[in-house]
Amino acid sequence: MPHLLMLAPAPVIRLPDGRLRLDVKYVEGMRAHQALWDGTLSAVVWEGASSVPFGAEYAPWDLGFDLIVLPAGATLPATQADLIAAPADMAEALALVRGPVPVVFVVEYTIGTRLRIVALDRDRGVARKSWSALWNLWMEARRRMAFRRAAGVQCNGYPAFDAYAGLNTRTMLYLDGRMRAGMMATPEDMAAKAAHQGPLRLVHSGRLEPMKGAQDLIPIAQALVAAGVDFTLDVFGTGALEAELQADAKGLQGRLRLHDPVDFETVLVPWMRANADLFLSCHRQADPSCTYLESLGCGVPVVGYANEMWGRMVDASGAGWAVPLGDRQALTRQIALAAQDRGALTAAANAGLSFAQAHGFDDEFSKRMAHFAACLAPQRTVV
């Protein structure tokens, strides 16, 4: 039975009672890998995190998969694995292609996204940004060389696939998300949304950070008020811009409501299925934010900037609208049009739900595990 070893930069904290604090999404993903892999599976993470914001406490013996926790900076010990799955963001993992065990890299950020993230970092001055940009360019050269020698590459999202598919014949595209079939919006949910006649119910969730475009939420809400649009905007999340949003929301007559982060499956998904008409995304980056697919699965179309991910996904799905990057006025106008044309909003919601159902959590993971298995056989080619 083949042994798959999965490396991850997932945060972990050892607790005094022997339990571990781990990211919930990481644990859910590993359990799915374990269930679908026809063989032995183990995982490695490294200590060093000071917090795990979206985490929970787990007993190692209750995880459902073998987890090795190494000290921060420790090198990977010799392994008897038949295949290693490694994130392309880990610089140390790129050297594994020179070892005896075949490696499949998982990648989602392109070099363009990495450089834009550096440019948007408010905590770095010009000198540090310049150094970071040069380091990223150097790492990108190493990354591309490693991809050429790898057993395969898995690309999360359209931008990464477009950037790297030509480097390795065993490159696959997948769309990451957490929506299982039973979590998707029901026909009753969709009928209730179509029948809603009140204010346009906008929603936004995620980290309230500049790289996520959270600085645009207040100006757009203010512009909608000035345009006479009847709306509410519920924002779920926390981050560096949270205090600014809380202060500025006071001038919006209760239309913008801030919520603490909530559990995705038990709270956010049911809430969006019942209470949201349109997801407002101000994300400028091309990373494959799973929020797009997860919103569509809740029956909520998306209006956002035409970054390289959402611009492609809206064309593929018909599940909303994309406007020029950073154009707040265009985003405001499109929201106003959606508020006036509930028929178009319903059509986008239905198209988005169909697209999400075709790319559910279980189907995407099954494709990934089949790709890993194919990468064990050198004579086979998977694209």
Among 256, 142, 152, residue whose Cα is nearest residue 199: 256
Span 87-99, pLDDT tens digits: 999 988 999 999 9
What tokens appear for 11 in the block? Answer: 């945060």
- CA dist., res. 156 & res. 236, Å (int): 24
Give the Å distances, CA to CA, from 347 to 118, 193, 354.
Answer: 38, 11, 11
Tell whether 168 and 201 lie within a shared domain: no
Q: Please answer whether residues 202 and 320 qualify as being in contact, where contact means their C-beta atoms are separated by less than 8 angstroms.
A: no
What tokens appear for 314 in the block? Answer: 């809206």
The CA-to-CA distance between both ends of the chain, in Å, stands at: 25
Strand order in the sheet with 256-259: 256-259, 231-236, 200-205, 278-281, 302-305, 320-323
Which residues contact residue 99 at a Cβ distance below 8 angstroms, ignoring those fewer than 6 apart? none
Residue 19 lies in a domain: yes
- The string of DSSP codes covering 103-171 is EEEEE---HHHHHHHHHH-TT--HHHHHHHHHHHHHHHHHHHHHHHHSSEEEEESHHHHHHHGGG-SSE
Residue 383 lies in a domain: no
- CA dist., res. 85 & res. 104, Å (int): 5
Which residues contact residue 298 at a Cβ distance below 8 angstroms, ignoring those fewer than 6 apart? 179, 184, 185, 269, 272, 273, 276
Residue 287: what pLDDT? 80
Helical (H) or strand (E) element with 56: strand 55-58
Helical (H) or strand (E) element with 272: helix 269-275
Residue 382 lies in a domain: no
Tell whether 69 and 89 lie within a shared domain: yes
Residue 87: what pLDDT? 95
Tell whether 206 and 314 lie within a shared domain: yes
Q: Which residue range forms the structural domain that includes residue 19?
A: 3-178+362-375
Tell whether 66 and 209 lie within a shared domain: no
Tell whether 317 and 332 lie within a shared domain: yes
Q: Please answer whether residues 110 and 285 qualify as being in contact, where contact means their C-beta atoms are separated by less than 8 angstroms.
A: no
Residue 227 lies in a domain: yes
Residue 261: what pLDDT? 84
Tell whether 39 and 71 lie within a shared domain: yes
The reported pTM is 0.88
Confidence of residue 378 (pLDDT cuts 50, 70, 90): low
Residue 140 lies in a domain: yes
Residue 122: what pLDDT? 72
DSSP class of residue 75?
Answer: P
Helical (H) or strand (E) element with 270: helix 269-275
Residue 341 in this model has a pLDDT that exceeds 60: yes
Tell whether 136 and 187 lie within a shared domain: no
Which residues contact residue 18 at a Cβ distance below 8 angstroms, ignoring those fewer than 6 apart? 59, 60
- CA dist., res. 10 & res. 249, Å (int): 33
Percent of the chain at pLDDT > 90 equals 75
Number of domains in the chain: 2
Confidence of residue 381 (pLDDT cuts 50, 70, 90): very low
Q: Please answer whether residues 147 and 167 qualify as being in contact, where contact means their C-beta atoms are separated by less than 8 angstroms.
A: yes
Percent of the chain at pLDDT > 70 equals 98
